[in-house]
Every structure is written in structure tokens, then in C-alpha cells.
Structure 1
Amino acid sequence: MRLFYRLLVLIVMLLGVCLAVILYYVANPKLPTWTPAQQVHYLEQWSATDRQTYYFTPQGTQVKGLRYDWFNALELPFSQQRFAAPEYLARFGFLVDPGQKATSNNPGNLPVGFARHQNPGSPDQFLDITCAACHTGELRFNGQAIRIDGGSAQHVLPSSVPTLRGGSFGQALVASLTSTYYNPWKFERFARNVLGQDYDTRHQQLRKDFKTSLDTFLKVAWNDTHRGLYPTEEGPGRTDAFGRIANASFGDAISPANYRVANAPVDYPQLWDMWTFDWVQWNGSAQQPMARNIGEALGVGATLNFFDSNGQPLKGDSRYPSSVRVRDLHQIEETLQRLKPPAWPEDLLGAIDKPLAAKGRALFAENCAACHVPRVTQEGERWVQHLHMLPVDVIGTDPTAANNIASHRFDLTALQWDPAELAQMDVKLHPEPEEPLDLSQLSVAKGLAYVTAFVENRAYREAKVTAAEKPQLDGFGLPIGVREKVAYKARPLAGVWATAPFLHNGSVPSIYQLLSPQDERATTFYKGTFDYDPRHLGYRTEAFTNAFLFDTRMTGNHNSGHEFRAGERGNGVIGRLLQPEERWALLEYLKVLGGPMEAQLP
């Protein structure tokens, strides 16, 4: 009996040690080191004023109730270092300038895309992570940084699912919040920092409000973990946007039965010229700019209530209160219309070989233009680019994202929508359904279209948007159009040199590999660096400390398709084999495509 007791004690002690090790690594993520660039170079994409408007205009996200001053006062779990210190947040891949200082529109001295807002009638300022956080890129070469406004971010933002490796901003933030609440010395320092002279009168209320926000974070982390909702790790520069929005809007907010496995992370697409596209999103499923932006804000954390305090579905004009800021979203959208594609900086990345680029221009016309040069028409006040949509069985790239968006179904009957009312809303389904909508089997695209329509109507009323203003805020008077194609769009390629990695899921690290047969592409490669390879046009892929290993053999990560190789066309083979010298010529041309140097080619 004594031996059994000792064995039991030993087992408990070993389990305790294992748990302590796990907790340590969860709370102390393995992050890459960060070295500030010698200088950040801004290309002539727009004005400095437009850049600041884009970087720090709030859109109404609330990051689970986290206040702006709380975020700035948080400490790391095992030290008194500020969590929000620029040099620490930069290790997650967020963008900061060397030696940056606080400004009036960035008083917390935070990275690009970290803004703040107040809701009407509330004194609290909430942390507001905007579209600029995910759609601003940076390249490093020879110690210099080149900012790509509207480009693809390479941060590790969304996941709060704990792993021993860590590396995710979400996981690290939850660890700091938890340690702050449960460590009395940390909370004392935190409270005095946040409250100042109001410490005595507001200390208890702060602790209560903080716990409410922390509980929300922990609930999401537990839910995502034990349900296994995100089995394909997103890593730097990716998120399963539709999957996360659907799980938040239909699972968290309506019913756990609506949770779906989201195993199709996609890259953050570049934003220049997007306002001219007839349809947006990787699968070409969305049309109206305002609805698209509201959906993005909801996905990042804007509040949304479907039910009243008694759990009854909201109806009529009570639908649906949110924290979305439609006038700010419109300002961001209008600002982005002035954003130009980045032009290749010869002084930083090397001179263009113009004769070689001219050869590449002919090869582009032969091999690429049919898909990547869309038809253009004038529609009202804008020129519209009609993008080619390529079915997955033609383009051959990983089908998981397109399949999930087209096939996942959600039960929204709890919202008690009236089909007759839905038919009168500013939502246009393509093609128009022949049968009444089945609200128990609604796709993510259709479900979000009607949710955003309700949210938009309520937000417009609260922002006092007039009937005359509405078409402009909607975006060119467009309806909330919805399509569900099992396909991916082929976008124009101006500035494509600055948008690594490639394909919708970021599974190909460079354009040179993208122009090569699949068996010449890397099966695994390392991500998380900004170091640029100006020869192959992509980020460098060598191993480095705490790099993220991207494995193209996992579901959602496949690097198949878009192949130029010998053999029969189809099933992902879209063109003939390109010889290495032809690939180099194409790369040289893609450096100047759509930019001022293209006109200088012989």
C-alpha cells in the first residue's frame, strides 16, 4: 500500500512538472528576434496624410472588450516589460518604425493598424485593430526596410489556441491578461497605471470589467481548442477569414451547432486597385464595399448582438446593434482609392534589366495575359475590371477554401428572419434562387450578406446617413451582391513583386517557384522573416531561430496548380513548360508591370 501511495505521489508530481512546463511555454512564446531596420523607406503610393489616415482610423473593432489603456499597461507574464512595447510587438510581425514615438493619432506608440475608438455614451476607449494591420507589408534588404502600403502583412495575429511553440499574438495576449489578473502584484501595478488618481474609487470596478474581458478571451481559447476548430496552423501572414467570421457570427453568437472546422487559411490580399474590381474576396463572393468592410470588422472583433437580454431574437429596427463605425469605414475606403501599386525601387533593390524585361513582356502576353488582364468597362463614375474566375478543377490550387465557403451550411432559424422581409433587402444573390431560402441550411456567404445588411441598416441610422448619402457609403450604389463559385480570382499583377508569398494560401514562396512545375517547388519552407530575395521575388526561406515551418502537405496548404510544365493542359496545368531563362525574363517584367518604368522598355 505504501509503495502504491509513493507511486501515486510520484505520478502527481510528474504531472505537475509537465503542467508547469506547458504553462511556461504557453505563456512564454518562442518568437523570432527583431532587429530594427536602418531606415524605413516609403514608396510613392500616396501622401503621408493618406498613410496616417489608413494606419490609425478606427473601424469599430473591440478585441473582446479590451480597453486601449489596459493594453498599454499590460506586462509580460514573467517580467515587468510592457506587452505593448513596440520592440516586443514587432517580434510577432507587426510593423513599427525604428525609434518611433507616440503621436496624437497613435498615443500608445503602437504598430501600424492599432487604433482606438469610443462608443457613443461610453467613456471607455477600446483597442481597435484595423484593416491596415493585416494589409500593410514590409520588405527588408541590406538592412533597409521598404514599406508596402496595402500589401500583405506577415504577422501572427489571430489564434489563441495554446501551443508549446507559441508565436501567436492571440495566445501571448491571453497569457499576459491571465497573469495580470491572477498575480496580485501585477494587477496592483496595472491598476495604478490605468487609474492614476482614481485608483481608490475605481479599483474594484476595474477588476470586475477586466475579468469580464479575460473570461471572453479564455472562453474563446478553450472553445477553439477543445473543438479543434483550426487544425491547420495559420502562421505568419494568414488567417481563415471566412471560417473565423462564420464561427464568431454563427457559432459564438447563435448556436454551438454552427461551429465548423476552419482548415483553409488564406493570405491577406493586397488592396491597391481593389475598388475597381467587379467582385472581391479570393473566391469572388462579395461585391459591395461597405458590406465587405463590415464583414471584415465583425471578423476582427466588432460587437454584434442578435438577441436581447432575455435571449429573445431582436426584431424590426432593433436589429442589429454593433460597434461598427460606417463613416470611418467609408473614409478608409475612399482613402484606398488613392493608393497606387508599389513601383520597384531600383536604388534599394537593384536596377531593372530593360532588354530582359522586354522579352518578359512578350512572354507575359503569351502565357499570362489571358487570365491576368481583365476586361475593363466604365460603369457610372468608375472604371470596372471584370476579373477572370478560374474553377478549382482548372487552376488546380488547393480547393479547401473555395469548397468550405461553398459547402458549409449554418442554421440561422433562431434569428426568426421573415423570408418576405429578406426579399426586400438590398441583397442580390447570383444566381437568383428559384426556391425560397432555407434558413436552416444557409451558406456562410448568404448568411453574412443578410447579417451585414441588417448591421449596415442599423449603423447607417445611428450615424444619421441620409438616403442621398447611402449610395456613396455603400460604394458606387452597389447592392450587397453574393456569389458562391468554387473558383479563385485571377487579379491584375501590378505590384505583384511585393506581395509574397503566392497563391491564395501563401503556399509558394516566390514568383520563380510559381512559374515552375510543382515538383520544383519547396514542399516545406520557413516563414516569419521580412528578408526579401529580389532575384526570385519572394521572402527568403532559410531556417532561422523560431521560424514557422510551412508544410504544403497539410490540408489547406497544398502548393499544387497554376503550373507551367510539359504535358496535357488541365487539372492545374495552365501553360507550357517555361525554360529557366524565360522565367527570369518574366520576373524582370513583373518588376515593372503597371509602374512608370514599363513605358521605358524597348
Structure 2
Amino acid sequence: MRIFLRVLLLIAALLVLILAVVLYYVVNPKLPDYVPVEQVHFQDQWSAADRQTYYFTPQGTQVKGLRYEWFTALELPFSEQRFAAPEYLARFGFLVEPGQRATPSNPGNLPVGFTRHQNPGSNHDFLDITCAACHTGELRFNGQALRVDGGAAQHVLPSSVPTLRGGSFGQALVASLASTYYNPWKFKRFAHNVLGDQYDAQYDQLREDFKTSLDTFLKVAWNDTHRGLYPTEEGPGRTDAFGRIANASFGDAISPANYRIANAPVDYPQLWDMWTFDWVQWNGSAQQPMARNIGEALGVGATLAFFDSAGQPLKGDARYPSSVRVRDLNLIEETLQRLKPPTWPEQLFGAVDKPLAAQGRALFSENCAGCHVPSVTQENGRPVQRLKMLPVDVIGTDPGTANNIADYRYDLSALQWDTSELAQLNVELHPTPTEPLDLRNLSVAKGLAYVTAFVGEHAYRAAGVTPEERPRLDGYGLPIGVRELRAYKARPLAGVWATPPFLHNGSVPTIYQLLSPQDERSRTFYKGTFDYDPRHLGYRTEAFKNAFLFDTAITGNHNSGHEFRAGKRGNGVIGRALAPQERWALLEYLKVLGGPLEQQLP
């Protein structure tokens, strides 16, 4: 009996030790070290005022009800260091400047894209993460940094699913929230920082409100984890945008039966010239700027109510109140219309070999222009670039994103939409359906189109938008167009050198590899650095402390397609094999494409 008890105690001790190790690594994410650069260089992509507008204009997103002053007062689980300290948030890949200080537009001294807003009727400032957080890039070389406004972020933002590796902002934030609430000494310091001289009067209410927000985070983390919704780890600079928006809007808000596996992460695309594209999103599924931006805000955390307090579906003009700020979304959109592509900085990355670039220009015309130089027409006061859509069986790249958007179906019948009422909305389905819509079997693109239409109508009324203003806020009077193509767009390539990694899922680290056959591409490589390789045009891929290992064998990560090699065209082969010297010439030309240096070529 004594031996049996000792065995049980040993087993219990081992379990406690294992749990302690797991908890330690969950609350202590393995992050790269923060290495500040000597200087951040800004180009004349737009004015300094436009840059500040873009960085800190709120969209109406709310990070699970987290208030701005709470976020800035949080501590790390095992120290009194602030979670929101710039040098700590930079370790997740968020962008800060060396020695940055708080400003009126950034009072919390937070990274690019972290701002605040108040909802109507509330005096609380909520943490608002904007599109600038995901669509601003940076390239570093020899201790210097080039800021790429409208470029691709490399942060690890979305996941709250706990892993031993950690490294996700979401997971680390939940750990800090939980340690603050359950550690009485931490919460006391937190409450003093937040409440000041109102500490005694408002302490109990603060604790109750904080617990409500924490419970929301924990519920999402548990739900995402035990359902296995995100099996493909996104890592730096990626998210399964459509999958997460659909799971939040149709699963969280309507029915658990609507949860779908999101296993097709995509990179954050660059935004310059986007306002001229006829269709946007990687699969060309969206048309109207406002609907696209409302969908993005909902995906990042804007509040949305489908049902009343009694659980009944909202109807008529009551559909659907949200925290989306349509005037601010329009301000960001119009600011982005002034954004120019980045130009190759010879003083930072080295001089362009102009004779070699001239050779590359001829090769580009022969091998690339057919897909990446779209026709341009003038419509409703804007130049419209008609992008070529390449079917997945032609381009051969990982089909997961396109297939999930085309195949997944959701039951939205609980919202009790009247199909005749849907027909009155500013939504155009392409191709026009030949049969009535089945609300029990809607695609994510169609479902989001109607949701954003209702959200937009409500938000326009709440913001006092007049009928005369609507075409401008919608974006050139465009309808909410919807397509579901098993295809990916070939976008113009001005500034492409500044947007690594490549392909829609970020599976190819450099442009040199993108111009190479698949068997010459890296099967695995390390991500999470901003260190730039100006020769191969991409981020460096060597191992470093706590780097993220990208494995192209994992679902959603395949690096197939877009191959220049001998063989029959199609199924990923898009052009003839390019000799190494031809690839170098193309890279040299891509440095200057669309910029002033292109005019200096012989």
C-alpha cells in the first residue's frame, strides 16, 4: 500500500511539473530579441500628414472589449514591465521607431496601427487595431530601416491558441490579462494606474469589467483550440483572413455549426494602387471599397449584433448595429489613393546595374507583362486596372485559399432574411444566380456581402451619411460585387521588391526563388526577421533566435506553381526556363519598374 501511494505521489508530482512547464511556456512566448535600428528612413510615398492619418485613424475595431488604458497598463506575467512597451511589442514584429515617444495621435506610445476610439454613448476608449498594423512593412539592412507604407507586415498577430512555442501576440496578451486578474498584487498596481484618484470608488466595477473582457478572450482561445479551427500555424505576416472573418461572423455570432477549418493563411498584400483595381482580395472576390473595409474591420474585431436581447433576429432598420466607423474607413481609403509605390533606395541597398536592368526590361516584356501589365480604362473618375485572374490549375500555387472560399457553405437561416429584401440591397453576384438563394447553404463571399450591406446601411444612418455622399463613401458608386473564382490575381509589380515573401501564402522567400523552378526553392526557411537581402530581393532566411520555421510541406504552405521551367504550360508552369543570368537581369529591372530610375535605363 505504501509503495502504491508513493507511485501515485510521484505521478502527481510529474503531472504538476509538466503542467508548470506548459504554463511557463504558454505565458513566456519564445520571441526574437528586440534589436533597434540606427534610423528609420521614410520615402516620399505620400505626405507626413497622410502617414499619420493612416497610422492612427481608428476603424471601430475592438480587441474583445479591451480598453486602451487597460492595454497600456498591463504588465508581463512574471515582471512589472509593461506589456505595451514599444521594445516588447516590437518583438512580435510590430513597427516602432528607436526612441519613439508618445504623441497626441499616439498617447500610449504604441506601434504603427494601434489607436483608440469611443463608441456613441460611451466615454470609454477601446483599443483599435487598424489596417496600418497589417499593411505597413519595413526592410532592414546594415543597421538601417526602410519603412514601406502600404507594404506587408511581418507581425505575429491573430492566434490566441496556446502553444508551447508561443510567439503569438494573441496568446501573450491573454497570458498577461489572466496574470493581471488572478494576481492580486498585479491587479492592485493595474487598478491604481488605470483609476488614479478614483481607485476606491471604481475598483469593483473595474474588476467586473476586466473579467468580462478576459472571459471573452478565454472563451475564444478555448473554442479555437478544442475545435482545432486553425491547424496551419500562421506565423509572421500571415492570417487566414476569410476563414477568421467567417468563423467570427457566422460561427461565434450565429451558430457553432458554422465553424469551418481555416487552414489557408495568406500574406498581407501591399496597398499602393489598390484603389485602381477592378477586383480585390487574393482571389478577386470583392469589388466595393467600403464593403471590403467593413469586412476587414469585422474580421479584426468590430462589434456586430445579429440578435436582440431576447435572442430574436434583428429586422428592418435595426439590422445591424456595429462599432464600424464608416467615415474613418473612407478617410483611410481616400488617403491610400495618394500612396505611391516605394522606389529602390540606392543609398541604402546599393546602386542599380542599369545595363543589366535594361536586359531585364526586355525579359519582363517577354515573360511577365502578359499577366502583370493589365489594361487600363477610365471609369467614374478613376483609372481602372483590369487584373488578370489565373485559375489555380494554371498558376499551380497552393489552392487552399481559393478552394475554401469557393467550397465552404454556411447556414444563415437564423437571421431570417427575406430573399426579396436581399434583392433590394446594393449587392451584385457574378455570375447572376439562376436559382433562388438558399440561406442554409451560403458561401462566405455571398454571406459577407449581405452582412456588410446591412452593416453599412446601419452605419451610414448612424453617421448621418446623406444619399448624395453615399457613392463617394461606397467608392466610385460601385456595388458590392461578389465573385467566387478558383483563381488568384496577377497584380502590377511596381514596388514588388519591397513586399517579401512571395506568392499569396508567403511560401517563397525571395523573387530570385520565385523565378526559379520549384525544386530550386527552399522547402523550409526561417521567418520573423526584417533583415533584407538586396541581391535576391527578399528577407534573409537563416536561422536566428526563436525564428519561425516555415515548412512548405504543411497544408496551406505549399510553394508550388508560378514556375519558369521546361515543360507543357499549365499546372504551375507559366513560362520557359530562365537561365540564372536572366533571373538576375529580371531582378535588376524589378528594382526600378514603375519608378524614376526606370526612365534612366539605356
Secondary structure of the residue that 1:296 maps to in structure 2?
helix
Supply the distance in 2 between the matched residues of 1:15 and 1:456 (Cα, whole angstroms).
52
Secondary structure of the residue that 2:592 maps to in structure 1?
coil
Supply the distance in 2 between the matched residues of 1:261 and 1:79 (Cα, whole angstroms).
36
Supply the distance in 2 between the matched residues of 1:260 and 1:64 (Cα, whole angstroms).
21
Which amino acid is 1:556 matched to? G
Task: Work out whether 1:289 is the aligned partner of 2:289.
Answer: yes
CA RMSD of aligned residues (A): 0.4
Q: Which residue of 1 aligns with 2:84?
A: 84
Which amino acid is 1:425 matched to? L
Secondary structure of the residue that 1:5 maps to in structure 2?
helix
Supply the distance in 1 between the matched residues of 2:2 and 2:448 (Cα, whole angstroms).
62
Q: Which residue of 2 aligns with 1:334?
A: 334
Q: Which residue of 2 aligns with 1:405?
A: 405
Gaps in structure 2 of 5+ consecutive residues: none
Q: Which residue of 2 aligns with 1:465?
A: 465
Supply the distance in 1 between the matched residues of 2:438 and 2:47 (Cα, whole angstroms).
48
- The structure 1 segments of at least 4 consecutive aligned residues displaced by more than 4 Å after TM superposition are none
Give the alignment's TM-score, normalised by structure 2.
1.00
Secondary structure of the residue that 2:434 maps to in structure 1?
coil
Secondary structure of the residue that 1:507 maps to in structure 2?
coil
Map Cα deviations across residues 401-438 of structure 1 (whole Å, 9 max, x no partner): 00000000000000000000001100000001000000
Map Cα deviations across residues 140-183 of structure 1 (whole Å, 9 max, x no partner): 00000000000000000000000001000000000000000000
Once the two structures are superposed, the pairs formed by residues 84-103 of structure 1 within 5 Å of their partners are 84-103=84-103
Task: Work out whether 1:17 is the aligned partner of 2:36.
Answer: no
Once the two structures are superposed, the pairs formed by residues 503-542 of structure 1 within 5 Å of their partners are 503-542=503-542
Map Cα deviations across residues 267-301 of structure 1 (whole Å, 9 max, x no partner): 00000000000000000000000000000000000
Secondary structure of the residue that 2:428 maps to in structure 1?
strand
Q: Which residue of 2 aligns with 1:437?
A: 437
Q: Which residue of 1 aligns with 2:487?
A: 487
| Shift, 1:3, TM fit | 2.0
Q: Which residue of 1 aligns with 2:359?
A: 359
Map Cα deviations across residues 473-492 of structure 1 (whole Å, 9 max, x no partner): 00000000000000000000
Gaps in structure 1 of 5+ consecutive residues: none
Q: Which residue of 2 aligns with 1:582?
A: 582
| Shift, 1:7, TM fit | 1.2
Q: Which residue of 2 aligns with 1:423?
A: 423
Q: Which residue of 2 aligns with 1:258?
A: 258
Q: Which residue of 2 aligns with 1:241?
A: 241
Which amino acid is 1:601 matched to? L
Supply the distance in 2 between the matched residues of 1:526 and 1:35 (Cα, whole angstroms).
17
Once the two structures are superposed, the pairs formed by residues 216-231 of structure 1 within 5 Å of their partners are 216-231=216-231
Which amino acid is 2:376 matched to? V
Which amino acid is 2:474 matched to? D
| Shift, 1:2, TM fit | 2.4
Q: Which residue of 2 aligns with 1:142?
A: 142
| Shift, 1:520, TM fit | 0.1
Supply the distance in 2 between the matched residues of 1:311 and 1:399 (Cα, whole angstroms).
38
Task: Work out whether 1:302 is the aligned partner of 2:302.
Answer: yes
Secondary structure of the residue that 1:228 maps to in structure 2?
coil
Which amino acid is 1:559 matched to? N
Once the two structures are superposed, the pairs formed by residues 178-217 of structure 1 within 5 Å of their partners are 178-217=178-217
| Shift, 1:399, TM fit | 0.1
Secondary structure of the residue that 1:397 maps to in structure 2?
coil
Supply the distance in 2 between the matched residues of 1:510 and 1:125 (Cα, whole angstroms).
41
Secondary structure of the residue that 1:489 maps to in structure 2?
strand
Supply the distance in 2 between the matched residues of 1:558 and 1:524 (Cα, whole angstroms).
10
| Shift, 1:4, TM fit | 1.9
Secondary structure of the residue that 1:376 maps to in structure 2?
strand
Which amino acid is 1:423 matched to? A
Map Cα deviations across residues 318-359 of structure 1 (whole Å, 9 max, x no partner): 100000000000000000000000000001100011110000
Secondary structure of the residue that 1:591 maps to in structure 2?
helix
Which amino acid is 1:225 matched to? T
Q: Which residue of 2 aligns with 1:32?
A: 32
Secondary structure of the residue that 1:574 maps to in structure 2?
strand
Supply the distance in 1 between the matched residues of 2:120 and 2:448 (Cα, whole angstroms).
25
Task: Work out whether 1:152 is the aligned partner of 2:152.
Answer: yes
Supply the distance in 2 between the matched residues of 1:112 and 1:508 (Cα, whole angstroms).
26
Q: Which residue of 2 aligns with 1:591?
A: 591
Secondary structure of the residue that 1:550 maps to in structure 2?
strand
| Shift, 1:512, TM fit | 0.0
Secondary structure of the residue that 2:506 maps to in structure 1?
coil
Task: Work out whether 1:573 is the aligned partner of 2:567.
Answer: no
Supply the distance in 2 between the matched residues of 1:200 and 1:428 (Cα, whole angstroms).
56
Q: Which residue of 2 aligns with 1:64?
A: 64
Aligned length: 602
Q: Which residue of 1 aligns with 2:74?
A: 74
Task: Work out whether 1:344 is the aligned partner of 2:344.
Answer: yes
| Shift, 1:568, TM fit | 1.6
Which amino acid is 2:527 matched to? K
Map Cα deviations across residues 53-87 of structure 1 (whole Å, 9 max, x no partner): 00000000010000000000000000000000000
Secondary structure of the residue that 1:307 maps to in structure 2?
coil
